[in-house]
Structure 1
């Protein structure tokens, strides 16, 4: 049976993010329709409100969107807060348990399937909307997308070398975008033409597939001591000026102590880093968090803006738009990133800076869009921005030796999930407030929010510029890469 197994975790990310984005589309539309109907009943108004810029109908639309935005925030909080806690507690155990990487993929798949069952029960028996929290909390306690992100990216770092890691993580990001795009598109189309059950059953099937794939087909990555990559003595000889003699990166036995559970925090103060100055790692985590703050906060705002005046899109058109946007992300994370790294041999920081400039142009443009045809042009403007996420994650993975990849991504994914939650805390209320105030001089209801998002990327651009011109970053990283050259070659042969 072991000979039939593969070391390709990409399908897990593909199907998991298909279900995640399809569910996000369903929940957003469900909340919007639910509260829209409630306000229609209260005002005794059955007319089509979208497209009217004044009057009682327009007030109904704005109130419904505002309440739906707040409920969406509560739902996301019930998922993200438990998932961050769980990931920080057990995430670094994936470095120590025998089947740690695979286990961290199985647990969220079970949680996602349970969440879908809860939603199916709510729809079938027409239960009050508050029952949705039973599913979301269970999903959060399983680690959710935070734990899957940790497991898949750590697994990929285990089986890739430093030279190929940026491209390999770019492919992972493209696979994630493919799944998300398919989920957004299928979720919108199925919801409009077939109904809620088709979306929920498709998501349930995706989670079950992830569970079966990991359990029966995915092999464990090579253990550190078996790969010939690094052990205590080798690392001490190669990094004697970086490593504290009291540090023991691996544990005897199962290693699942509460001390090891906070391994993500330990790497922030230990000497086990490839890069000598710790402030570079802090800066990378901050930049990655700011990127996620906007990238995870913008789809919800865009979805609400698409449903309302002046665009008045149907869920199927929204699905097509997000599907195309994720297709562009695939092109950016694979083809554009390959061109930058292989043909132009750009440094990681240069690639990130170019991607950030694309993000800034994209959100400034969004602030002035008021028609359907011009909205689709934003996809071309933001194409190079897809290189930011995989390149930042590659840079982070190169900061820590392989036996601490799980601890690093435990911390990184928790930071990203926390910022995803902060995105809703910041941008959803901001959108609701601007929408309720109906500020007339703004081109559209999301203009101010989109400009704030562009400003966040300006701050991120400044941080990466500091890192780009840092001699300590460049020297330490180059020194480490050269010293590990022979071991990387041996690792590739062993894999």
Structure 2
């Protein structure tokens, strides 16, 4: 079979009868197990890719996340009789902190923790199944089913708001979404789809384009959500959350073509999917045969880096709203929306920065620059006591997302094309664990450290990011040394 021209591939195209890294025929001739394991690619171009699905899904998630936290704050304040005396604290620095405000902060952080733990615990079990299953059953089901889960969660939240139900029903909605895969399953499906459609040379940038879709939709949702909540309250924005989740599912069903040939007999509930993930990390995958233990070690270390970076990112995400709502900042919904938009704008600046830095730096050094940007921004957040300083922190984080697409790409390049499904299932599992651990650690750490340093959680996050920075730098130096030895 003739090899297609990979240089002409558009964002929605796939490689006909080729792997993500090159023609499968070359590998099949040398390994019978690769031929048996490799998923079949659909022939012909896929004219519409997954970027719109990810954009709509992220819009739904980014619109509801800060609004849900603010709603919890308002409901808990109402239940405790807290009447917003924080405003006087902001205008007069000599006023002692209101003990009710600290109680509201603590309870809101704890409810965020319970809701996150509930959804992510279920996701930890469901997402690996869906991700690995998509390697056989196709990518489209994993793009459709979790979006229905997000829509169901939004419907439950709307019932809570209309009927003034106890906030514990927020946890019920989150559990229903987690049972259907949650947003992490959508991420797994989208990145696996891109792995099907890209070669090694273009993969890092293609992954960064998906990350930029996350940022652009998050930025728009943050601006719209903050202004809309200020003008009309919570209910109408949550109707948009419901609509965008359903629109994403409908778009995937009608317009996204499969990137692999689905197997109608593929079963979802089976131990095969978990075994595939275990085999990948226990042996290092088929491509480790020439690299031995070093190859397997790199797979584990890059996964650890990914875990730490994502855990810090999502662990801090909930804290930004709490930090901004309380004194000394005391932001309203509009400023919170602008702050969240500034954070998501870094997705776009990171995409541009990654593309420019790739002309003169290897991917590992690009990731280190991104981690440095994140660390400096977190250090500023830890001492921010004015609006100007808080936005300075957001500005310094303008490259903080470059590390994530680099790590996803490096993990993808470490395994064979026949193992991409198992890899992205494991990455989705790790990402779910990141949400779980990040939310648990930071939502517990924040109220526990309010009495001696309000921004200590951000300082702790900056210290944690030094670990992946060191690992990435050391691995890159080792790779360069091995390359020099091989050349000589």
TM value normalised by structure 1: 0.83
From 219, 224, 246, the counterpart of 1:181: 219
Q: In structure 2, what is the equivalent of residue 311 of structure 1?
A: 329
Q: In structure 2, what is the equivalent of residue 459 of structure 1?
A: 467
Per the TM alignment, residue 56 of structure 1 is displaced from its structure 2 partner at its CA by 7.5
Distance 1:375 1:271 in 2: 43
Conserved in 2, the CA contact under 8 Å of 1:5 and 1:216?
A: no
Deviates more, 1:53-62 or 1:411-420: 53-62
Q: In structure 1, what is the equivalent of residue 266 of structure 2?
A: 254
From 164, 168, 179, the counterpart of 2:206: 168
Q: In structure 2, what is the equivalent of residue 268 of structure 1?
A: 281
Conserved in 2, the CA contact under 8 Å of 1:69 and 1:428?
A: yes
Q: In structure 1, what is the equivalent of residue 314 of structure 2?
A: 296
Distance 2:160 2:287 in 1: 50
From 55, 67, 84, the counterpart of 2:124: 84
Per the TM alignment, residue 21 of structure 1 is displaced from its structure 2 partner at its CA by 1.4
Conserved in 2, the CA contact under 8 Å of 1:49 and 1:60?
A: no
Conserved in 2, the CA contact under 8 Å of 1:14 and 1:175?
A: yes
* Aligned counterparts, 1:5-404, within 5 A: 6-40=47-81, 48=87, 50-51=89-90, 58-97=98-137, 100-223=138-261, 254=266, 257-270=270-283, 272-275=285-288, 276=291, 277-333=295-351, 335-341=352-358, 343-344=359-360, 346-404=361-419
Distance 1:127 1:379 in 2: 36
- Asked if residue 468 in structure 1 is aligned to residue 472 in structure 2, the reply is no
Deviates more, 1:2-11 or 1:463-472: 2-11
Distance 2:47 2:440 in 1: 40
TM value normalised by structure 2: 0.84
Distance 1:88 1:473 in 2: 36
Per the TM alignment, residue 315 of structure 1 is displaced from its structure 2 partner at its CA by 1.1
Conserved in 2, the CA contact under 8 Å of 1:306 and 1:312?
A: yes
Deviations 1:51-109 (A, max 9, x none): 26676861111110111100110001111110110012332111111xx2110111101
- The 1:282–1:473 alpha-carbon spacing in structure 2 relative to 1, beyond 3 Å, is farther
Deviations 1:335-377 (A, max 9, x none): 1111111x21x22211111111111111112222211112212
- Asked if residue 422 in structure 1 is aligned to residue 437 in structure 2, the reply is yes
Conserved in 2, the CA contact under 8 Å of 1:354 and 1:384?
A: yes
Conserved in 1, the CA contact under 8 Å of 2:86 and 2:101?
A: no
- Match of 2:235, SS state, is helix
Conserved in 2, the CA contact under 8 Å of 1:7 and 1:219?
A: yes
Deviates more, 1:23-32 or 1:416-425: 416-425
- Match of 2:98, SS state, is helix
- In structure 1, stretches of 5+ residues that fail to align are 225-250, 480-495
- In structure 2, stretches of 5+ residues that fail to align are 1-42
Distance 2:66 2:334 in 1: 11
* Number of residues of Structure 1 aligned to a counterpart in Structure 2: 437
Deviations 1:298-326 (A, max 9, x none): 12111111011111110111101111221
